[in-house]
Amino acid sequence: MPTSNLPTDPNAAPQSDQHMSQEAVAQYIREEQQNRRGGFTPRPVFVQKLNEFGSPNLAVLTFDQDTQLTVAGLLKVAPDDHVIVYDDNAPGGAQYVHGTVAEVRDAHRPSDCVPGMRLIYINKIHSADEPTAETTAR
């Protein structure tokens, strides 16, 4: 597996946004699926901070509820950041979700195959709650 886009220190957090490779995402999904309970199937998604330019980051959607998503990835975000999650593989068809980062945790389980990967908990924002230009330009 190519490691050119991964940190060299397995315990180091990413210093800037880094992209997971497609191979790393596929391997993570295989390993995560083996340990998954509750019937949710992890799938690849793209995540991007709201109002930021550039390519979205490839990540893994590890859980999806009515009010919250959990994503595993290398994206550098902090609580209260607004993000968009593009889910091209959703069971009901491609969709995107606006959300606010609730919590970011380092992933320290032995099954986590991507050094520096973090679990990102995102509270979904429903259309009436979506941020406007005034609320995001703080």
94 domain residue, yes or no: yes
Amino acid letter, residue 105? R
Q: In which band, very low, low, confident or very high, does the pLDDT at 22 lie, cut at 50, 70 and 90?
A: confident
Q: Is 111 exposed, middle or buried (0-12, 13-18, 19+ CB in 10 A)?
A: exposed
5 domain residue, yes or no: no
131 φ, ψ to 5°? -70, 150
pLDDT digits (tens, 9 = 90+) for 35-66: 666 677 888 999 999 988 888 999 989 888 89
The domain that holds 119 is classified in CATH as: 2.40.10.220
32 domain residue, yes or no: yes
136 domain residue, yes or no: no
Number of domains in the chain: 1
* pLDDT surpasses 90 at 13: no
Domain assignment of residue 30, given as a range: 22-125
Q: Tell which wins on pLDDT, 84 or 137.
A: 84
Please report the pLDDT score of residue 12 as a whole number: 42
pTM, two decimal places: 0.70
Token pair 């790393």: residue: 24
Long-range contacts of 32-39 (CB under 8 A, 24+ apart): 32/60, 32/62, 32/72, 32/111, 34/111, 35/111
3, 88, 91, 99 from 124: Cα distances, Å: 32, 17, 18, 4
